[in-house]
Structure 1
């Protein structure tokens, strides 16, 4: 008998919540060192140098407040070395995007995602020991953490394509990215506090705590997560049938070859690749380089700088969470095509930030206006959960993990390419950083956002691609309980008929049936 809990909190919702927290854990390890490295290298005799065209009216803001960290471990790492350490994560993260999708197709999303969370938690805890040895060892740990994190998003995208109906999948994906940014919001202030008041000498406790919190999630993941409804023995027949009728991934495939030639020649895939890269350049530049801009130009304190970053994370997190349901509402309440809805939301997420960032240089020394424009740009960029993210499971449902890994490779590479490009701009002509050079950086970000908007409008579509169909052979005598993995009881034809009739008459209109479902229904004698 189905558990009463399944009625108000179905199994697919549990998968969605676990996926959201998985993304939050990814960001806790991604951003923990961004704050901690300040404590690791902080010195009371640090001298702040500002460019000639900085904003001196903010000279009384106090700047850095000396060495307030309770630690005896301080490393003499130059700014380039610190930048290399911070970027090391993205070398690994970029390299494993496609691999993560392939491993998911081979071993299943549950194991790939779980491994992608568990191994980084262990390696992250070794960071203080690695830093004591040499900064190169610390870089190695960051590369390994990023490498395994590259598995997480590809595997979750593949899992969601099997667990969620199209209208629910958009919300689930939005929750993924909301969780990611909330992980940054949570970890940044915690890391700052532990760096000053934590155990084990201060900043080492940041790495220990951020690793320990993974253990709770791992227990629930191994107990409650499954690759698909077909692997979940506790799912109710009602929920399983509902998922089967409303998803394109009807049955598990075992060894279907990936149509690489078709994928690599698809204009729709290239639309996803380009728009992801253009948008993520601005995203990573804002969260990795703009704090230095606030420091150099406006003499913003460390604490205030962190506050501004937290506000930006909250802004984009809220937009990421809201845009998915809004796009679904637009699809269900209007006659606008799915492709047009995806383009509307993606254009908002590209053109909006492009305009905001292009206006930053004209604000001169108005810090409040600059902060507001950057926060609004991130808020608008969050609308991508109604555009580029849900469009991949729509045009490639059977190969979501692989396609997402491919499209996210260049986007993830912006994590280390963006700081390099920004550094080259700031160092051109001379090694003196000026506000004029920072203006060029903002114009570059704005231009790339607008370029992504144009190309997505021209190339993208939400229509399922021909190469994404997988031929399946379903026996005429298959029982529904075989699909759910429940061998303890047999669901006879009359039970299947009642289940289908209830959904047919009360919940699922005739015109929502997909061709795949009609074939499946016929072959399994469910009428």
Structure 2
């Protein structure tokens, strides 16, 4: 029976099985992460607003905006500042584990680093209702930090695996399928959360039980179906194994030497990538984490409408990322654009466009249709940056992509800490005017970082990607000395003349 199963699986390209399972890994992670952004609109009592003299306040309530979720669900007296701390606490944990996770993934492979990370998130997510009931906001903050620990290892492990499974001519497509799990998870997390809360007698706790269970199911399938490297995969065909080996043998090794931290941390293209990840992290996390609050507190949408409408921008981002990745791979394969130029063009479109639409949305006032359209356009265009900055760690160093991704995600997580906190501080009354300040800050960060990235980014493999580059440098130096020793000096050559 096992041989029949193996024969059946060998007919399926295992690099695409990995891509789909990697996508589902991120989707699960982001569902567990984003569910709180919808849930907190029901978990926290509406804060009493201070006296506001500005005419630019919030929008009039919709007749259908009142929540019909279960009255048996507990609510808690959390002001906007406390909610900002709760939402940002996830990122406190996720800043601590990307670098250790990247090192472990580069050293031992990403299969179990990723698997254990998702499993831990699932278990802590299912514990959320019990912990909140027992320990209130403090318990939830601690639990979200622990969830962040598991999430911090996700990207480094996935990129270390992608470096082994994605041949250069399919790199953008496979990488974008994997990373599109972010948009899929945010899309499903926001839309399903609203529907579950609205229609379940359990109230907001249902979303944590639901998404936690999905994480456990994914873990069991991942352990069965995926491997660290094509050579160790039990179901891969010999033909696919040879294809992957021939396509990637030049720049990937099963075993690498010590991570070249000095070369990485002094690399100008790497720092350009870090800067752009900081701004993208702030912008994306501000939107994905706090957009449901804007929809609820300012635009006055119901919990179910909030979930569905908050998901629309992520759907647009998912689709644009997939289309852009296919187009980018075609440009590379056809020789119409170098990786460096492609990275600059796609990243610029995917950063400048969202910045402009985001600020424009803040001036659309209470025209709900226009605001949702502009938000959808803003977030949707972010997907175009994935074939650029989104896969740049794989361009710079396939062998150490886990460590490079760990650094960039560490920087992004720091921005993720700041985003909900900044929103909580600037928007205590949840007014249009307060939110406009948040959107302008995001716009300026995006534009400045894109300028830096366009000037200093590089799309080519760096010399320190070779694990033996240090030994080769010494060998080259010794060869040069030997050649110089064997060659006659200028005086000797003159004497021969």
1:91: how far off?
0.8
Instruction: Note if contact 2:24-2:218 (Cα within 8 Å) is conserved in structure 1.
Output: yes
Matched, 1:37 2:34: no
1:343: how far off?
1.2
Matched, 1:78 2:99: no
Counterpart CA distance in 1 for 2:58 and 2:246 is: 63
- Matching residue of 2:17: 14
TM-superposition CA deviations, 1:114-156 (whole Å, max 9, x none): 1111112112221122112212122211111111111111101
Query: Once superposed, which parts of structure 1, at least 4 consecutive aligned residues long, lie more than 6 Å away?
Result: none
Matched, 1:172 2:174: yes
Question: In the superposition, relative to structure 1, how do residues 18 and 289 fare at CA in structure 2: closer, same or farther (>3 Å)?
Answer: closer
Matched, 1:139 2:154: no
Counterpart CA distance in 2 for 1:116 and 1:308 is: 30
1:309: how far off?
0.8
1:269: how far off?
0.6
Matched, 1:468 2:468: no
Counterpart CA distance in 2 for 1:421 and 1:205 is: 29
Instruction: Note if contact 1:50-1:297 (Cα within 8 Å) is conserved in structure 2.
Output: no
Counterpart CA distance in 2 for 1:293 and 1:205 is: 23
1:461: how far off?
0.6
Matched, 1:28 2:31: yes
User: Under a length normalisation based on structure 2, what TM-score does the superposition of the two structures give?
Assistant: 0.86
Instruction: Note if contact 2:26-2:181 (Cα within 8 Å) is conserved in structure 1.
Output: yes
Instruction: Note if contact 2:58-2:431 (Cα within 8 Å) is conserved in structure 1.
Output: no
- Matching residue of 1:286: 287
Matched, 1:439 2:418: no
- Matching residue of 1:228: 229
- Matching residue of 1:391: 392
Instruction: Note if contact 2:320-2:381 (Cα within 8 Å) is conserved in structure 1.
Output: yes
1:442: how far off?
1.9
Once the two structures are overlaid, the 10-residue window that deviates more, 365-374 or 451-460, is: 365-374
Instruction: Note if contact 1:196-1:202 (Cα within 8 Å) is conserved in structure 2.
Output: yes
1:333: how far off?
2.5
- Matching residue of 2:472: none
Counterpart CA distance in 1 for 2:400 and 2:424 is: 37
Unaligned runs of 5+ in 2: 470-497
Matched, 1:345 2:358: no
Question: In the superposition, relative to structure 1, how do residues 468 and 221 fare at CA in structure 2: closer, same or farther (>3 Å)?
Answer: same
Instruction: Note if contact 2:70-2:198 (Cα within 8 Å) is conserved in structure 1.
Output: yes
User: Under a length normalisation based on structure 1, what TM-score does the superposition of the two structures give?
Assistant: 0.82
Question: In the superposition, relative to structure 1, how do residues 167 and 6 fare at CA in structure 2: closer, same or farther (>3 Å)?
Answer: farther
Counterpart CA distance in 2 for 1:311 and 1:250 is: 38
Question: In the superposition, relative to structure 1, how do residues 365 and 274 fare at CA in structure 2: closer, same or farther (>3 Å)?
Answer: same
Counterpart CA distance in 2 for 1:445 and 1:237 is: 49
Instruction: Note if contact 2:116-2:150 (Cα within 8 Å) is conserved in structure 1.
Output: yes
- Helix, strand or coil at the partner of 2:22: helix
Matched, 1:366 2:363: no
Once the two structures are overlaid, the 10-residue window that deviates more, 394-403 or 57-66, is: 57-66
Once the two structures are overlaid, the 10-residue window that deviates more, 230-239 or 294-303, is: 294-303
TM-superposition CA deviations, 1:240-269 (whole Å, max 9, x none): 111011124443106x11111110000111
- Matching residue of 2:191: 189
TM-superposition CA deviations, 1:193-226 (whole Å, max 9, x none): 3334436x43323222211122322222111211
1:72: how far off?
4.5
- Matching residue of 2:473: none
Instruction: Note if contact 1:52-1:434 (Cα within 8 Å) is conserved in structure 2.
Output: no
Instruction: Note if contact 2:84-2:424 (Cα within 8 Å) is conserved in structure 1.
Output: no
Instruction: Note if contact 2:295-2:310 (Cα within 8 Å) is conserved in structure 1.
Output: no
1:361: how far off?
4.3
1:49: how far off?
7.2
1:404: how far off?
0.6
- Matching residue of 1:512: none
Matched, 1:404 2:401: no
Instruction: Note if contact 2:49-2:429 (Cα within 8 Å) is conserved in structure 1.
Output: no
Output the aligned Cα RMSD. Answer: 2.6
- Helix, strand or coil at the partner of 1:398: coil
TM-superposition CA deviations, 1:171-212 (whole Å, max 9, x none): 11111222222122222233233334436x433232222111
Instruction: Note if contact 1:363-1:370 (Cα within 8 Å) is conserved in structure 2.
Output: yes
1:402: how far off?
0.1
Instruction: Note if contact 1:91-1:143 (Cα within 8 Å) is conserved in structure 2.
Output: yes
1:32: how far off?
1.6
> 1:374-523 alignment to 2 at 5 Å?
374-426=375-427, 434-471=431-468
- Matching residue of 1:130: 131
Structure with the bigger RCO (C-alpha within 8 Å, sep 6+) is: 2
Instruction: Note if contact 1:244-1:250 (Cα within 8 Å) is conserved in structure 2.
Output: no
Question: In the superposition, relative to structure 1, how do residues 391 and 137 fare at CA in structure 2: closer, same or farther (>3 Å)?
Answer: same
Question: In the superposition, relative to structure 1, how do residues 352 and 210 fare at CA in structure 2: closer, same or farther (>3 Å)?
Answer: same
Instruction: Note if contact 1:195-1:203 (Cα within 8 Å) is conserved in structure 2.
Output: yes
